[in-house]
């Protein structure tokens, strides 16, 4: 049955080239079954268009066990940051216990959760007010990686490690197209080239193993390493 629905909606694939359009297949397939609850999300959500093609900002339903979305619907790009976005998604089956505004990858795995809401109560309609959200790729890196793991030494201390300040409002200017203080001839971030960027190398390889601080085990999640790599390869936009 599922296969039949997928084939039925296959022409949708041909309409757009952006990876997010693939999401609409799932969305339509789910709606076509006509069962389950409905989520109505509202919010002022900026930065949706700043993700590289490997990712999609969506409203999605998850169960407790898996990081893979059971249902998802692509959040439209708002014309201006102040526009309120309204999104309705049907087909939220009983197995869904959390509805999230989040970022998923092509496999529909949750990469970054922006707003999460439990929905275990029996209600036909789930109302979700996401509020004002900066959903851009760089803000996700700032919040989930730099603020969580790096700023204690890179900004909050009196002398930032390696002279690199990773605090919000400083990090982008301190990283992009700035010469590395530790590796001769390399940039901290060279837009379009993650494999030549010290930020990517320091987290994904052992180049820092004999520095004062070994960074190689700081980010063990391959999803977070890919997030940094894809952001750089896609132009390192603010």
CA atoms within 13 A on the CB side of 24: 16
Q: Which of 42, 218, 226, 237 binds ligand HEC (CB under 6 A)?
A: 218
Question: Is residue 202 a contact point for ligand HEC (CB under 6 A)?
Answer: yes
- The reply on whether position 150 binds ligand HEC by CB under 6 A is yes
Minimum distance between the CB of residue 226 and ligand HEC, rounded to whole angstroms? 14
* Distance between CA atoms of residues 64 and 74, nearest Å: 22
Site map for ligand HEC, 50-69, x if CB under 6 A? --------------------
Cα atoms found within 13 Å of the Cα of residue 120, Cβ hemisphere only: 3
Q: Does residue 155 bind ligand HEC (CB under 6 A)?
A: no
Q: Measuring CA to CA, how many Å separate 49 from each of 69, 137, 150, 151, 181?
A: 20, 9, 26, 27, 33
Residue 88 lies near ligand HEC (rule: CB under 6 A): no
Q: Is residue 25 near ligand HEC by the rule CB under 6 A? A: no
Compute the least distance from the CB of residue 48 to ligand HEC, in Å. Answer: 25
Is there binding between residue 154 and ligand HEC (CB under 6 A)? yes
User: Would you state the structure tokens that stand for residue 193, as one six-digit string?
Assistant: 């080239």
The binding track of 162-201 with respect to ligand HEC, each residue x by CB under 6 A or -, is x-x---------------xxxx----x---------xx--
Residues that bind ligand HEC (CB under 6 A): 145, 149-150, 152-154, 161-162, 164, 180-183, 188, 198-199, 202-203, 211-213, 215, 218-219
């Amino acid at each position: 049955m599922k296969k039949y629905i997928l084939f039925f909606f296959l022409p949708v694939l041909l309409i757009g080239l952006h990876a997010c359009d693939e999401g609409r297949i799932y969305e339509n397939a789910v709606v076509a079954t006509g069962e389950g609850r409905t989520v109505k999300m509202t919010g002022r959500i900026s930065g949706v268009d700043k993700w590289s093609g490997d990712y999609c900002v969506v409203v999605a339903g998850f169960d407790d066990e898996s990081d893979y979305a059971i249902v998802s619907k692509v959040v439209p790009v708002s014309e201006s940051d102040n526009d309120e976005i309204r999104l309705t998604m049907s087909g939220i089956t009983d197995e869904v216990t959390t509805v999230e505004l989040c970022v998923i990858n092509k496999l529909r795995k949750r990469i970054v959760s922006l707003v999460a809401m439990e929905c275990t109560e029996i209600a036909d309609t789930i109302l979700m007010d996401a509020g004002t959200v900066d959903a851009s790729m760089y803000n996700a890196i700032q919040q989930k990686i730099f603020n969580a793991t790096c700023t204690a030494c890179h900004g909050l201390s009196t002398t930032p490690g390696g002279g690199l300040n990773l605090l919000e409002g400083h990090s982008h200017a301190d990283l992009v197209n700035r010469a590395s203080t530790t590796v001769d001839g390399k940039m901290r971030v060279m837009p379009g080239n993650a494999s030549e960027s010290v930020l990517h190398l320091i987290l994904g390889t052992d180049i820092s193993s004999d520095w004062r601080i070994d960074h190689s085990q700081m980010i063990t999640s391959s999803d977070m390493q890919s997030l940094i790599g894809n952001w750089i390869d896609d132009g390192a936009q603010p």
